[in-house]
Structure formats: C-alpha cells, structure tokens
Structure 1
Amino acid sequence: MENKHPYSELGYKIFFKIKPFLKKILRIKVVGVENIPLEGGCIIAANHRSHFDPPVINIVSPRPVIFLAKKELFEVPVLGWFIKKAGTIPVRRDSRDTAVIKKSISLLKEGFVIGIFPEGSRARPGEFRKPQPGVGYLIEKAKVPVIPVLIEGTDKVLPVNSKFPKLFKYNIDVIVGKPIKFEGISSYEHIAEKVMHEIRKLKGERHG
C-alpha cells in the first residue's frame, strides 16, 4: 500500500516510542509545548545553531515535523538516508526553489507540520543570523499558524564540524512560543524579521 505520509510511518512510530529515552539522555528541557497545535497545518520556525536542531524539535513535538534542508545533506552517508525517511524536503540554496514552496504549501494544506530555520544556515554560538526573505514568502502564501521556537545548547552538544555528539555533558533548552500573527505586515522581509524577533524574545522567557 502506498504511504499517504511524506515520511516513513513505521519509522516515526518507532521514533515516538523512544522519544522519552532520547529526551532523557540528551537532557532536553522544554517549555510551552502546548503551543504546538495538535491538528491542522502549521509552521515551526526555530533558530539554528547545530545539525542536532531538527531531531531535537521532533523529540519535543507531539507531531512529526517535516523539515526543509539543504540538498547537500542528502548526499551524506547514513544522514542522507535518515532525513529521506523523515520526509525532509531538499532545498537548493543557490536559487529560489519554487518547487519547494509549492510542496511545502501543499503539505501544510493537508494538515502536516513544516519546520523551517529562518536564518538559513547555522549561527555562531549564542548569536542569531539575519533571516532569509524566502521565509516570509512561504509564510505569507501558506497562511497557517507560525510557532516560534528557541533552541539553546545544541551547539554545545554537537558543535559545527563535530562528527559525534557530546552526550551527558550539556543541557538542551527548548522554548515554544505562541502562534504569531501577521496582520498589517506588508513585505516578505518584514514577515521574516518578525519571526526572528519573536524567536529572540523567547530568550527572556523563564523556564518552569
């Protein structure tokens, strides 16, 4: 039977079974997970500092999150196989990939969750990069709730150029904000800036 989902259903069933174990060994603490809708299409927009960010978001999310990732990652042994099974959408960074936008919007209308990193690439530890205008374009066209997420600590667990994670040494904090509204915002650039502003604001939230 053809898989109706863009990801491996069996793979995600197994993944969801072991999520409590992964959350414990990775020392993940999450606040505000109730802000992620339990049904309907939505976009999770997070800051980006490590290749560990996508799995961490999927560990804390009550629903599978389909990420957009640079095409080059699909060529990496083992990692490429895993992200394909996870339904990850390849993106060509050297051009405006309209096919990716169309596919993302189609999945959102079908009720799936799309994960994006507005910065486009990983930022330095403790820093934020300028968001990409294409993020605003996707958000404006999709017209679904956008959930801002702040991730801290993944850049210590799996720093840039590291092949293996440093387990049991650092904590990973995830703060999920309330859905963002975009009434009165006139340009894609302003939408992207608004998203990053809301992500940065989460840094001041206290953990419970």
Structure 2
Amino acid sequence: MKRILLMVFRSLFNLPFWFFRIFQLCNIEKYDSQTRYAFLHKIVPIVIRRGRITIHVTGLENLPSESGYIMFPNHQGLFDALAVIQTHERPLVTVMKKEVKNTILLKQVITMLQAEIIDRDDIRQSMQVIMNMTRRVKAGENFLIFAEGTRSRQGNTLLDFKGGSFKSAMNAKCPIVPVALIDSYKAFDTGSIRKQTVQIHYLKPLYYDDYKGMKSTELAEIVSGFIREKISIETSVID
C-alpha cells in the first residue's frame, strides 16, 4: 500500500488527464484495441518508475511472431499484470475474477482491455469464458492467464497450476508462452518503498505439436515446471 500511495503522490499532476483519457478510451466503438492498449503501455512504465521499481526483462524474442497466443505467468501479487503490460508491446486481454469487476479504475481497465470476467463458482459461466477465449484467440487476440487461480503469497514459490486454465489454449491449438515472474510480490506486498527490481522472463513457447494429445493437467505441470526451473536458476544466481 505504501508504494501505491507513493506512485499516486508522484503522479498527482498527471492523474486528471490519465483518468480522463482512460474513461474516454472505454468507448470501444471509437477506439481500437491497439489504441486502447498503447495508452496503458505508455503510462504503466511511468507509474512503475515513480514507484522506485525497475523491470528486468528477458526472452522477448520468444514471443510468437504472430498474435493469437496465451501467456501463463506465475501469480505473486497485484504488480504482476503491470510487469507484463510494461514489457509486452502487443495488445493483450486478461482474465479477471468477478470480485474486481466493479472496482473503480479496474472496471475501466477491464473495459479497455475487453477482459473476460470469470466466476469460479459458476461452472456454466466458466465454460462460457473458455469458449469465448478459444474464439478470440483463434481470431488473433493474445491472452494473459494466471493458472494458479490466486496469488501465491509465498514469495517466489508457485502454487499448483490448474489444468482447466489450459482448456482454451488446447481448444484453440495456439502457442502457449510460460512466463516466470521473480520478486514481483516485493512491489506491493511487503510494505516497503525501497528500490526493487522485478524480473520477468518470457520462456520458449509450446506449440500445438508440442502438447498435442496431452491432458490439461499434464500440460499444466509441464508449464509450471518450466517456470519453477527458471525461477530456481535466476534466484540461485542472485544468492
């Protein structure tokens, strides 16, 4: 919370215009996805820098050359999505839980990104989200899904990835990009405003031929395994 307040305080001069522009860009009939996302991609690095956070990114060359893929990062906290938006140039769509859909500003960002809202307690609605994602990925949109379902709250330790999170990718037969986030939890969840470096590593994608015939639970284990391995390598170097 302290770092969020610091970001807000250092951005007071910009906030009126930013809020105005965000509300303006909620008009999805007038502004295309590239325009809407470009604004977030522009202001997020400014906010992050004012929060005394540096992003170290590797693996951008691993992102498929054509859109229509799904990224699966580990989930450490509220900062995760900001790290992805800063480093990922092409428009992306997120999947968010229903509890946040009416939160001020997040509500507008959901509209801007045309995010999918999922109710984990409603099986029928969850299936509809999976079908929507499959259709949209096939149409060339990129998605961001946190397959753990909730943030870890255990630092750089992963929770189990849920097999159901991979259903859309398997149905769409699209590339799957594992993404390793390291120390992202330190941005907002430690109560500190000390300078921090957050790492984000885009790992080599899995294409349909790589996972064809697998069960979703098997695919979930493989993707989480790649992320665990990368985190282990990078944190051991730091230590």
TM range (shorter): 0.7 to 0.9
Greater Cα radius of gyration, structure 1 or 2:
2
Partner of 1:131: 161
Q: Matched residues in 2 for 1:106 and 1:61: separation?
A: 22
Of 146-155 and 74-83, more deviation after overlay is shown by 74-83
**1:139-154, aligned counterparts within 5 Å?**
139-154=169-184
Partner of 2:203: 177
Q: Matched residues in 1 for 2:82 and 2:113: separation?
A: 10
Partner of 1:42: 69
Of 39-48 and 23-32, more deviation after overlay is shown by 23-32
- Checking the alignment, whether the CA contact within 8 Å between 2:44 and 2:82 is kept in structure 1 is no
Distance 1:144 1:3, change over 3 A: farther
RMSD: 2.4
Partner of 1:115: 144
- Three-state SS of the structure 2 residue aligned to 1:75 is coil
Q: What residue ranges of structure 1 are gaps of 5+ in the alignment?
A: none
Q: Matched residues in 2 for 1:131 and 1:141: separation?
A: 18
Shift of 1:45: 0.5
Residues 17-70 of structure 1: CA deviation (Å, up to 9, x unaligned): 345535644310101111112422001110001121112111101212211110
Which amino acid counterpart does residue 174 of structure 2 have in structure 1?
Answer: V
Q: TM-score, normalised by structure 1?
A: 0.85
- Checking the alignment, whether the CA contact within 8 Å between 1:150 and 1:174 is kept in structure 2 is yes
Structure 1 runs (4+) deviating above 6 angstroms are: none
Q: What residue ranges of structure 2 are gaps of 5+ in the alignment?
A: 1-27
Shift of 1:79: 2.1
Shift of 1:86: 2.2
Q: Which has the higher helix share?
A: 2
- Checking the alignment, whether the CA contact within 8 Å between 1:38 and 1:62 is kept in structure 2 is no
Of 193-202 and 107-116, more deviation after overlay is shown by 193-202
Partner of 1:159: 189
Which amino acid counterpart does residue 111 of structure 2 have in structure 1?
Answer: K
Q: TM-score, normalised by structure 2?
A: 0.75
Q: Are positions 1:67 and 2:94 aligned together?
A: yes
Residues 81-135 of structure 1: CA deviation (Å, up to 9, x unaligned): 2232222210111133111111111111111111111111100212111111212
Partner of 2:19: none
Q: Matched residues in 2 for 1:59 and 1:77: separation?
A: 21
Partner of 2:227: 199
Corresponding residue to 1:21 among 28, 46, 70: 46
Residues 138-158 of structure 1: CA deviation (Å, up to 9, x unaligned): 221121110110111221111
Percent identity, please.
Answer: 26
